[in-house]
Chain A
């Protein structure tokens, strides 16, 4: 099998705000078709690493190389849910990076936005107000915006936070489909069970603890370092779990 194309690569990366790095010693790569979890506690550096991948933070040390167009899918609580904007308009915002500042999205952009909403399964909600959609539908609209950007690398920040089980399963299979089409998907999460199901995992707690296939790297020692001790044995299995820092 031919090696998949590398979309992004970090080497000895340190990134953060001000003078102190929020995360350091980061070495990993994302290939086409791969789903990678950034696993770690709150404040462990997941969002910082996403911002570095997006090009919003310069490396303080080391390097980060992103070879393809990248789009971010933020937590929807960060956008204004009372803002009078439709799902279609949100998806259309993905056309802006390729337009000069004075130009409005045109007919072709609208068609692309409609097709993207259709692709992620929310075409029937195109004209609804974004804030009226369910959490899972809002995530899908923001993913559609990334598709309109024609991004080969999608960065998802805690996409399952606040979703019920059916919505989370639906989103998970959409992510698998998008990866199967050759996109790289980076998913920041503090959910260990979710991270085990992706192709690779980067464990972060202010520095990189481990990187590799979940089955290879997610052992007790790595998890204890990642979560600084809050590990419990799961009765009746040889696996371990994490006491969540907070419940949703």
Chain B
């Protein structure tokens, strides 16, 4: 049994993968709560897809993919903002056009004959092979996201609670929205690097949605979401190691299973409460 746990840990690549998963889960879990409260899950999905060409260009140029990801995500966000202002096009449609356009551009570059093999790992991530610089940049971004969330906590809380009166309490809804989107871009970069552009959103939204089911305060929800993300990440890596499955997909699968389990447990709990109340009344 102990071997079952320690055997993967003897492998250098698994230890590095665990570190990367920990960094992704820490930042994504905590920020994911605000993604849920600010209703920007679609923006998270859009940004993670639209930064694909930036990652491909970085991979082709042989630099750390986050170096391409940062300008990639900035250009994507700018394009979404600009196209969203074109009269006659709804914001949703504008986002869809930009995201599909960018994603298609990334696919064109990635699938051209001159591309090196293995570049499709950008789509599904390469959690098992982060370089030293990948890990370092992930760590800096993750610490930055968590530190910013700690400092901004009360402003974000006040705006999410009641946008209309937040300004009179010194919390600007516009500043909070922008702060959440900037942090989201940072977290998406970290998550896309490990889980790929297609699965990154799972780490952002899944653990937060799961934590929401059984927590009653934002602080505990953030801590629970980060912890759940780490657990799902570790479980996914072990599943991948022993069952020979793709690591990123295994982690995303574990996150979804966690959410389903929480839903079933919460359903059972409210069912038991409904059964218990008439029994007490009788």
Give residues 68-118 of B contacting A (CB, 8 Å): none
Main secondary structure of the interface of B (DSSP, over half): helix
Q: Does A24 sit at the interface, judged by CB under 8 A?
A: no
Give the Cβ gap from B37 to chain A, nearest Cβ, in Å.
8
Are A85 and B157 in contact, CB atoms less than 8 angstroms apart?
yes
Give the Cβ gap from B213 to chain A, nearest Cβ, in Å.
11
Residues of A within 8 A of B212 (CB): 84
- With A79-B162, A93-B158, A96-B158 in contact, do A56 and B168 touch (Cβ < 8 Å)? yes
> Which of B152, B161, B218 meets A79, CB within 8 Å?
B161
Q: Does B171 sit at the interface, judged by CB under 8 A?
A: yes
Residues of B within 8 A of A71 (CB): 168
Are B169 and A96 in contact, CB atoms less than 8 angstroms apart?
yes
Q: Does B246 sit at the interface, judged by CB under 8 A?
A: no
Give the Cβ gap from A222 to chain B, nearest Cβ, in Å.
31
- With A89-B157, A93-B154, A104-B154 in contact, do A84 and B215 touch (Cβ < 8 Å)? yes
Are B155 and A101 in contact, CB atoms less than 8 angstroms apart?
yes
Q: Does B266 sit at the interface, judged by CB under 8 A?
A: no
Are B168 and A93 in contact, CB atoms less than 8 angstroms apart?
no
Contact with B along A118-130 (1 / 0, CB 8 A): 0000000000011
How many residues of chain A are within 8 Å of chain B by beta carbon? 31
Q: Measured between alpha carbons, how far is A165 from B154 in the docked complex, in Å? A: 35
User: Which residue on chain B has the smallest CB distance to residue A74?
Assistant: B165
Q: Does A97 sit at the interface, judged by CB under 8 A?
A: yes
User: Which residue on chain B has the smallest CB distance to residue A97?
Assistant: B170
> Which of A72, A84, A90 meets B221, CB within 8 Å?
A84
- With A93-B154, A101-B155, A102-B151 in contact, do A85 and B170 touch (Cβ < 8 Å)? no
Residues of A within 8 A of B152 (CB): 101-102
Give the Cβ gap from B225 to chain A, nearest Cβ, in Å.
12
Are B169 and A84 in contact, CB atoms less than 8 angstroms apart?
no
Are A74 and B162 in contact, CB atoms less than 8 angstroms apart?
yes
User: Which residue on chain A has the smallest CB distance to residue B211?
Assistant: A84
Residues of A within 8 A of B217 (CB): 84-86, 89
Are A84 and B218 in contact, CB atoms less than 8 angstroms apart?
yes
Give residues 175-189 of B contacting A (CB, 8 Å): none
Contact with B along A37-51 (1 / 0, CB 8 A): 000000000000000
Residues of B within 8 A of A149 (CB): 169
Residues of B within 8 A of A92 (CB): 154
Residues of B within 8 A of A80 (CB): 160-162
Are A83 and B161 in contact, CB atoms less than 8 angstroms apart?
yes
Q: Does A78 sit at the interface, judged by CB under 8 A?
A: yes
How many residues of chain B are within 8 Å of chain A by beta carbon? 25
Give the Cβ gap from A75 to chain B, nearest Cβ, in Å.
10
Q: Measured between alpha carbons, how far is A233 from B162 in the docked complex, in Å? A: 41
Q: Does B11 sit at the interface, judged by CB under 8 A?
A: no
Q: Does A184 sit at the interface, judged by CB under 8 A?
A: no
Are B216 and A105 in contact, CB atoms less than 8 angstroms apart?
no
Q: Does A135 sit at the interface, judged by CB under 8 A?
A: no
Q: Does B153 sit at the interface, judged by CB under 8 A?
A: yes
Q: Does B164 sit at the interface, judged by CB under 8 A?
A: yes
- With A104-B153, A105-B154 in contact, do A83 and B216 touch (Cβ < 8 Å)? no
Residues of B within 8 A of A89 (CB): 157, 217
- With A79-B161, A93-B161 in contact, do A129 and B216 touch (Cβ < 8 Å)? yes
Residues of B within 8 A of A70 (CB): 168
Residues of A within 8 A of B269 (CB): none
Q: Does A54 sit at the interface, judged by CB under 8 A?
A: yes
Residues of A within 8 A of B169 (CB): 93-94, 96-97, 145, 149
Are A85 and B168 in contact, CB atoms less than 8 angstroms apart?
no
Q: Measured between alpha carbons, how far is A54 from B218 in the docked complex, in Å? A: 29
Residues of B within 8 A of A86 (CB): 217
Give the Cβ gap from A55 to chain B, nearest Cβ, in Å.
8
Contact with B along A125-148 (1 / 0, CB 8 A): 000011000000000000001000
Interface residue ranges, A against B (CB under 8 Å) = 54-56, 70-72, 74, 78-80, 83-86, 89-90, 92-94, 96-97, 99, 101-105, 129-130, 145, 149
8 interchain residue pairs of minimum CB distance: A79-B162, A97-B170, A102-B151, A96-B170, A93-B158, A96-B169, A74-B165, A84-B216
A-B contact pairs, 22 of them (CB 8 A): A74-B162, A74-B164, A79-B165, A80-B161, A83-B37, A84-B215, A84-B218, A85-B157, A85-B161, A85-B217, A89-B157, A90-B161, A96-B154, A96-B158, A97-B168, A97-B169, A97-B170, A101-B152, A103-B151, A104-B151, A104-B153, A105-B154
